[in-house]
């Protein structure tokens, strides 16, 4: 079965532009006729991940695979890695500095939201190298 793939490079330098990839995916899925429910799940999960790549890591790459059954997002960053994934997954846990908090992020809700809005989620992380998060939303 056909799979359409979209690829994005996430720049770490410009917080203002963080979310542009998620925004692009959202409008593409909408045009493709994906259900509003699934579009919203993908948009929220990917946006949280994209923001994390900018505020906690040094950017990276996002690849989105779309088939008739599922949408798979792979977010691969160059960053410090996550030392304790179980802790990071807890609602309210955040290491975000005040500068990030004043921008409206750092509630420690991003990873829990990604889990909540995706049907499958896997985190692979290597300290000092980076984190890869794979999420799937079933159609």
Ligand X SMILES: Nc1ncnc2c1ncn2[C@@H]1O[C@H](COP(=O)(O)OP(=O)(O)OP(=O)(O)O)[C@@H](O)[C@H]1O
Binding site for ligand X (CB under 6 A): 48, 52-53, 56-57, 77, 79-80, 82, 88, 93-96, 105-112, 131
Residue from the set 22, 118, 125, 131 that interacts with other proteins by CB under 8 A: 22
Residue from the set 15, 65, 93, 132 that interacts with other proteins by CB under 8 A: 15
7 bridge partner residues: 63
Q: Which of 80, 62, 68 is nearest to 126 (CA)?
A: 80
Q: In whole angstroms, what is the distance from residue 12 CA to residue 52 CA? A: 10
Told to check if 22 binds Mg ion by CB under 5 A, we report no
Give the sheet arrangement for strand 4-10, strand by strand: 4-10, 60-66, 70-77, 130-138, 120-126
Applying CB under 8 A, the span of 3-11, 44-52, 73-81, 123-131 interacting with other proteins comes to 44-52
Residue from the set 10, 21, 34, 43 that interacts with other proteins by CB under 8 A: 43
């Amino acid at each position: 079965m056909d799979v359409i793939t979209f690829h994005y490079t996430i720049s770490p330098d410009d917080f203002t532009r963080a979310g542009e990839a998620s925004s692009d995916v959202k409008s593409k899925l909408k045009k493709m006729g994906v259900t509003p429910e699934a579009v919203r799940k993908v948009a929220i999960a990917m946006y949280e991940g994209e923001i994390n790549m900018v505020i906690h890591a040094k950017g990276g790459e996002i690849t989105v695979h779309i088939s008739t059954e599922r949408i798979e997002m792979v977010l691969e960053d160059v960053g410090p890695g996550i030392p304790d994934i179980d802790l990071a997954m807890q609602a309210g846990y955040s290491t975000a500095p005040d500068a990030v908090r004043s921008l409206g992020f750092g509630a420690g809700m991003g990873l829990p939201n990604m889990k909540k809005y995706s049907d499958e989620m896997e985190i692979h992380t290597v300290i000092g190298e980076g984190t890869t998060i794979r999420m799937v939303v079933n159609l």
